[in-house]
Structure 1
Amino acid sequence: MRVKLLSSLRRLAAMNPFIVDLAFGAAVAAITLTFMFSVGGAEAGYAERPLDAVGVALTLVANLVLAWRRRAPITVLAISCAAALVFHLAGYDSRFNEVAPLLALYTVASRWRPAVSLPCVLPMAAGWWHAAFLAPPDFAWPNILQVSIMVAVAWTFGNSTRMLVERNKQLAHLTGRLRQEQEDKARRAVTEERVRIARELHDVVAHHMSVIVLQAGLARYVFGTDPATARGALTTIADTGSEAMGEMRRLLSVLRIEANDDADGYDPAPGLQRLEQLVERVNSAGLPVKMSITGAVRPLPPGIDLCAYRIVQESLTNVLKHAGPATATVSLHYGAELELRVTDDGSGPAVTPEGDGHGLIGMRERVKLYGGTVTAASKPSGGFEVSVTLPLASPTVDDHPSESSSQ
């Protein structure tokens, strides 16, 4: 029952603070009048005039004005202090009508900074000191001390409330800014992830579809005259399509992975360990490829491994699409940096930096992510060259040449 009553009062205070303050002022006025009537009028040493209609009116004014304390706190303090001062100067009991000004002072301190609220303490304290001197002489100075302490406490509590409210507003503002920054960061992360996925899709689709298109054209050209070559081309198409489906399935599986899923069930991203398979597939598509690996071959970080593989894949795809009849060379060197170079001797149209397609843009984005460098330009002797360096951790063993080649 008590909980429901408090909850109802809180809702009422939130809906209409004026009604709550009016009820509070009326309650203070009623309690004050009850005590004033209970003392039986004038009491020796405290009052020279018994309570009458004027005294009741002044008491109602001093207390009921609290209903407007939230709307005009300084005005309410002035009216309440003036009514109490007139009440005391008229000779009524000096022990009453002091609570309302105290509450009004608390409201002023809770709404205004010290530059405004501190000057309001003086008239409030002066009224209370005047009432203290109207008491019997033996109680005058103890009353002044008590009054001074109560006024200081009221102002201190009010000012502390103001500081707490301001601090809460600042925290709410900072919380809003933090939430906005988190939302912006989440949107940037989504955008970056979309770009990464688009880059992966481009690398997968462009390479495999280029091989499939070339092999399909070859099979159609020799279908009636060279069935063996046509069957080989169709086999390459089937293998390439199967591999493309596998990589697409891996990428889509990563998109569907949940926080509590078992990541071991997903195929690993391709890396340089599959480079020979890539070279064989491009060879079967009609592009002779030479491969050279030097330095201390060692496992690479997954991100750099995938980056290097995709760069070789995209470079060979560009040779297939643009170089015409040509021979490509893939060179890798493991040292303090991974040096990767893909060249061709074709005569197809050169890809210039001003005309970068999605492939070269994707290369630069990948390499930039790992702090490397990439150059792509036509060679003076003909053909095209892509050169990439990717920083690596220091090798655990001394570099030594261990060349391997395939054609």
Structure 2
Amino acid sequence: MTARWPSWRTDLAISLVSFAGGLVLYAAGGWRMFFGASLWSGAPHGVLLVPMTVMAGCCLLRRLAPGAAEAIGLVALAADTLLGGSLGTALIFTQVVYDACVYGRPWLWRANLYGWVAASVLAAAGGVVASGSWRGVVLGLVVALVAVLPTVTGISVRQYRDQARVQRLRAEETARLAAWERRQAVADERARMARELHDVVANQLGAIAIHATAVLSAADPSPQLVRQAVTQIRESSVSGLAEMRRMIGLLREDGDTGPADPATRPGLASLPQLVAQARADGLAVELRTGGLDRALPVSVDFAAHRIVRESLANAWKHGAGAAVLRVDVDADRVLIETANALRPDGSTPGSGHGLIGMRERAALLGGTLTAGPEDGHWRLRASLPVRHTQEAAV
């Protein structure tokens, strides 16, 4: 509506309607309504149209210069009063005062409120003194109707608009914050999924690359070596595909086949298979376990499986020789430790997503994970609380 009808057209319409209304009142005899006689009351009636025209013109400045419009209107009202006072000019002045309180600076509506209240009191007192009767208080009521009432109305409208503006700004800020949070959530989810893909794919692809390199580096590989390498490559590929399908099943939300069964998630029950796979990939592993017969929450069991798998991959990347893997489960926590000697030629380069993913898994369960060189060995320690997770799930 504002785009179709600009504000200057609204101001022009108000000015023209006010002037037309004043002309109607003038034609109906609405002049010299305040005093029976005044300084210039003997002037022709047509002279009253001059201050009324000026007053109507002040409406054109209601947004551009409301303070100046009120000052000019006050002068026009004083001239109209000296001419005997006309009802049309007084009514248009109420619009000018209202606009000054709505569109003017904050100090202007305060000055109007205090000034016109004081003026109405003084007018009432002056009317009583001049007339010698209490009926002179009517003069104060006239000032209150012409100036105080539009001032209070304008202040109320201004405060309502200010509150609406503040609420609108708050709503816009809330919308911007919500949009930022959505973008941040999407970015975090993408990073998490990238680490999940790393856990699922990188280890299997690394094993495939190792066996393929072993065959390619041999000067004259025997059929038995080739067959053994291809067998390991096939097993790693099939295992990686199974892990990918399992992860896609966990992430799927279309409801075509229903939610994935938590029982199908890998856990510590597959620990022998993980160790066997690591040994097949060329990493000697010494396994030490305790308490694996205890039942674990699905989230802890799944996280422990992922951490064990990634810890063996890190032992191959950063260490050399036999790796000691210890997995202990008790009523309070799951403890996972791996250790093997550091590579003399330095670590195999990696993306770092594996360590980040393991730390995040441990942190989500309220546990801890540390990994790095220590006393000539590559060590990883993870502690996953069981009781804390159970209480959080309640």
Query: Fold conserved (TM > 0.5)?
Result: yes
Q: Secondary structure at the match of 2:259?
A: helix
The residue type equivalent to 2:157 in the other structure is: T
Deviation larger for 95-104 or 32-41 = 32-41
Q: Secondary structure at the match of 1:331?
A: strand
Is residue 390 of structure 1 aligned with residue 380 of structure 2?
Answer: no
Question: How far does the alpha carbon of each residue in 1:16-72 deviate from its partner, in whole angstroms, 9 at most, with x for none?
Answer: x23322222222222222222223977897465475332222221122321111111
The residue type equivalent to 1:367 in the other structure is: A
Q: Distance in 2 between matches of 1:111 and 1:356?
A: 61
* Aligned positions of 1:255-334 closer than 5 A: 257-258=252-253, 264=259, 269-295=265-291, 297-302=294-299, 304-334=300-330
Task: Give 1:138 shift.
Answer: 9.2
The residue type equivalent to 1:19 in the other structure is: R
Q: Is the 8 A contact 1:337 1:390 kept in 2?
A: yes
Is residue 19 of structure 1 aligned with residue 9 of structure 2?
Answer: yes
Is residue 29 of structure 1 aligned with residue 25 of structure 2?
Answer: no
Q: Give the length in aligned residue pairs.
A: 379
**1:110 matched to which residue of 2?**
102
Q: Distance in 2 between matches of 1:37 and 1:259?
A: 77
Task: Give 1:365 shift.
Answer: 4.0
Task: Give 1:203 shift.
Answer: 2.1
Task: Give 1:253 shift.
Answer: 5.8
Q: Which residue of the other structure, out of 338, 341, 350, is the alignment partner of 2:337?
A: 341
CA-based RMSD: 4.0
The residue type equivalent to 1:83 in the other structure is: A
- The 1:395/1:376 distance shift into structure 2, 3 A limit, reads closer
**2:359 matched to which residue of 1?**
364
- The 1:358/1:350 distance shift into structure 2, 3 A limit, reads farther
Q: Is the 8 A contact 1:222 1:230 kept in 2?
A: no
Task: Give 1:208 shift.
Answer: 0.8
Q: Distance in 2 between matches of 1:192 and 1:40?
A: 74
**1:3 matched to which residue of 2?**
none
Q: Which residue of the other structure, out of 162, 176, 181, is the alignment partner of 2:177?
A: 181
Q: Which residue of the other structure, out of 65, 73, 76, is the alignment partner of 1:80?
A: 73
Deviation larger for 173-182 or 267-276 = 267-276
Task: Give 1:163 shift.
Answer: 1.5
Q: Secondary structure at the match of 2:289?
A: strand
**1:141 matched to which residue of 2?**
137
Unmatched 5+ residue regions in structure 2? Answer: none
TM value normalised by structure 2: 0.78
Q: Secondary structure at the match of 1:175?
A: helix
Q: Which residue of the other structure, out of 91, 102, 121, is the alignment partner of 1:99?
A: 91
TM value normalised by structure 1: 0.76
The residue type equivalent to 2:76 in the other structure is: A
Residue identity (%): 27
Q: Distance in 2 between matches of 1:206 and 1:107?
A: 71
Task: Give 1:124 shift.
Answer: 9.2
Q: Secondary structure at the match of 1:91?
A: coil
- The 1:61/1:210 distance shift into structure 2, 3 A limit, reads closer
Question: How far does the alpha carbon of each residue in 1:338-392 deviate from its partner, in whole angstroms, 9 at most, with x for none?
Answer: 211123367655659xx99443344334434444333334565x65332111222
**2:60 matched to which residue of 1?**
67
Q: Distance in 1 between matches of 2:104 and 2:389?
A: 68
Question: How far does the alpha carbon of each residue in 1:61-88 deviate from its partner, in whole angstroms, 9 at most, with x for none?
Answer: 1223211111111111121222122122
Task: Give 1:312 shift.
Answer: 1.3
The residue type equivalent to 1:69 in the other structure is: R
Q: Distance in 2 between matches of 1:141 and 1:276?
A: 103
Q: Secondary structure at the match of 1:58?
A: helix
Task: Give 1:192 shift.
Answer: 1.8
Unmatched 5+ residue regions in structure 1? Answer: 1-6, 397-407
Q: Is the 8 A contact 1:29 1:60 kept in 2?
A: yes
Q: Distance in 2 between matches of 1:40 and 1:230?
A: 114
